[in-house]
Chains A and B, each alone.
Chain A
Amino acid sequence: EAGVAQSPRYKIIEKRQSVAFWCNPISGHATLYWYQQILGQGPKLLIQFQNNGVVDDSQLPKDRFSAERLKGVDSTLKIQPAKLEDSAVYLCASSLDARDATEAFFGQGTRLTVV
């Protein structure tokens, strides 16, 4: 089966610019996650969707970050305006259903550098 697809793989922007990341989860997976992974740290959950509804966005900096999952499939994560501390790898993951104990499948990530 095809894995989780993310694009772009790399992005370099100047601070105060905006950027968007795209994720296509595995077909049929109801749950979609966006994580931020700063170099040397573990992934930090930004937002979790169940179909097209938000389950958890408690750690999403809502003044600058936004995410949507239209039609419960693809998702986009946007940062506007970006700050230097947003430099990180942004990982998208999906799992079959949050109501069951299933593994999460991760994409390769988008490495964002803010200069």
Chain B
Amino acid sequence: SQQGEEDPQALSIQEGENATMNCSYKTSINNLQWYRQNSGRGLVHLILIRSNEREKHSGRLRVTLDTSKKSSSLLITASRAADTASYFCATVRGYQKVTFGIGTKLQVIP
């Protein structure tokens, strides 16, 4: 079963614009992670935010977590064509059980 649900499922923006993806989940978590997957490749870890954290930054990435609303958002600032990929949120609960959502397909148009 999928724990997380990303929104939107597809997003198309111009290079230089910001991209925002949201993730909602159903049960309590230990931490939440965001991954990127380029077409035909494996997943690459982007950022991890613990349940007691509200915001985290890494380069052009900004992640927020609202445990009361059971939601998270990933913001990519100043997007580049190379950011074109699918983005997944993964919730981690219990014994490091990592459960993925259905993903957001991002297209950045040069």
Contact = CB atoms under 8 A, between A and B. Distances in A.
Interface of A: 4, 31, 33, 35, 41-45, 48, 50, 55-56, 59, 91, 93, 95, 97-109, 111
Interface in B27-50: 30-31, 33, 35, 40-45, 48, 50
B88 A109 contact: no
Contacts of B30: 101
A113 to B, nearest CB: 14
Nearest to B5: A42
Nearest to A6: B42
Interface string B72-95: 000000000000000010101001
Contact of B96 (A35, A41, A43, A99): A99
Given A50-B95, A56-B97, A98-B96, A43 B43 contact: yes
Nearest to B103: A42
Contacts of A44: 2, 100
A111 B40 CA distance: 9
Interface of B: 1-2, 4, 30-31, 33, 35, 40-45, 48, 50, 88, 90, 92, 95-103
Given A43-B100, A44-B2, 4 more contacts: A35-B100, A42-B103, A59-B1, A101-B92
A104 B45 contact: yes
Contacts, number: 70
B75 to A, nearest CB: 19
Most buried by B among A33, A91, A106: A106
A106 B97 contact: no
B42 A103 contact: no
Q: Of residues B35, B42, B88, B103, which shows the largest number of chain A Cβ atoms within 10 Å of its Cβ?
A: B42
Contacts of A91: 42-43
Nearest to B100: A42
A97 to B, nearest CB: 8
Given A45-B97, A101-B30, A101-B50, A106 B44 contact: yes
